[in-house]
Structure 1
Amino acid sequence: MMDQNNYSSLHGFILLGFSDHPKLEMILSGIVTIFYCITLVGNTAIILASFLDSHLHTPMYFFLGNLSFLDLCFTTSIIPQMLVNLWGPEKTISYVGCVIQLYVYMWLGSIECLLLAVMSYDRFTAICKPLHYLVIMNPHLCLKMIIMVWSISFANSVVLCTLTVNLPRCGNNLLDHFLCELPAMVKIACVDTTAVELYVFALGVLIVLTPLTLILLSYGYIAKAVLRMKSKAGQRKAMNTCGSHLTVVSIFYGAIIYMYLQPGNSASRDQGKFLTLFYTIITPSLNPLIYTLRNKDMKDALKKLMEVHKESAKVRRNWKS
């Protein structure tokens, strides 16, 4: 007798996505393509600027470069497959492709939660302990923090995704989503999933709410330190640097909490899909804009990068002529 999961293993999954709104799919494919291009260009520019400009070789830009790299990986693990499904009548994804997407999506999403907490600690140290900042946030500690973030997130992904993948589906391969997301995979199981949902909720609280609590505590201390500053210029500089990070935190965590930490039936199916679309596609494209528009050092570094590019293009043209 064929194993109850073999049907999905052999035939993969059908991603229903927005297939009941064909006109909406055409509009979404254009929007997703535009935002994906913005994400690629913006985050690549931040990585290059952080790497090439010696003035940006500081902990803050080290973490920002990591965030940009993360956003590139995060969107690339989702958008190409999504565009294929939006453009054509085929809405399928192979079983292996779906499992890989599930693990990678959960892993990278968890990293962003923890990385934003690490970045808030960096801002807390810079503003509340400025004289000891470079001693505390030394390269060795920064590297250890990044390794810890990626490792904890990987462990979280392995535990939750393995529990989800091993749920019996009794031949059900219709995913009411545009990607292989954990809640959508749990919903098609043909057994009681209460235990798995409790695990998901518990680890969700650990990975989402614990970093958010640390972020809020950090910014509580930062607010006190800024208010005690006598220099208005110092206050403005502190608010600019922290404002960018706080904006990203608000957008990312706002969508995540509304999506995952609410009663299961309180949001409509399409509302859940649009929220997922927002924090997986829109947010990564906004990050570079938020950080560059509010950050003078990053804007200067990007201008230098553009000038170098123009000069090299001019040299190539002269050489060819």
Structure 2
Amino acid sequence: MKYNWLIHHYASTNQHTKCNQLIKYVKPKPLENIYPIITRALLLCYKGKTNESINIFERLYKTVSTNYKININYVYILIIASKTTFALSLLDTIIQECIYDWRAIYYTGLCYELEKNYEKALYYYKLVLKHYTCENANLAILRILKKDNSIFDKESMHAMKIKCKNTRISQDLASYYLEKKDYLQSLTLLGNCLSKGERCVNILLLMQCLMQSMTKCDIYLGFLLGKRNLEIVVKCSEITHNLIINNLMKNPDNYKDDNLNANIFIFLSNFHFDNPLNNIISYNFATFMSNMNIKTPAYLYFKASKMLTKDELNKEIFAITK
């Protein structure tokens, strides 16, 4: 109709008074005139004027109660206003007509979540994932699991991991596993993020938490010091260095993995190269080489660190000439 473009123009340029006057002038029939009014109502909602938006949808619903676009957007506004009872009755009608409409199923889950009926909410979110790849449903399942651990189940997590192509979901899920102290699951998900080239701050923070939480730090180091993660190592180099010193080097059994030892040697060598005047780093590098029976370079780094007495240095010389 000839007024449609003008309603859109007034709505998009924040000329609310003119837009409202034109909406009142244009009767919500025939259907062509309804869509700019829906746009106007949604814009009002986005600006925080939820009640005004609901009033517009009420008038539209009374005029054309069978229009899908009106009903599904009306439900959306009702959910924002936490009016879940009427929203659920509308959704029931929509689902009967469009049995696999993902928005209607997702909104049904959202209504039950708002009512704290988490089991029903979880059922509808899973139903969405059976037919669609939906990031919102994945995030909603994770949100529910965080709210109520009693309904944690493997099926939900399995569904999330299958559909979990988005790194934001991977990060949230890794954080959840971290809280559950399932460190290997958390590490696996973070590894997927890193392999896709993600280097965001959240991943770095999670990595730091993971490093501080894991008891078998050699598992983490073996992963982190791999070639594909060199950039993340640079950003976490100080933490990685402390992890090696505080955990790995205190236990002689941790030196049995030759590949891991080679990666640690490369890391410590590069870290020392970047910090040549740091006596503690020199000393730690020397200690690692000494434990690995790389005696001559170890002695030189011990000497450079200036942290050993003459007697202690003589012991290192004696160890070399043994």
**TM-score for both structures, normalised by structure 1:** 0.21
**TM-score for both structures, normalised by structure 2:** 0.21
Which of structures 1 and 2 has the bigger CA Rg? 2
| Structure with larger RCO (C-alpha < 8 A, sep 6+) | 1
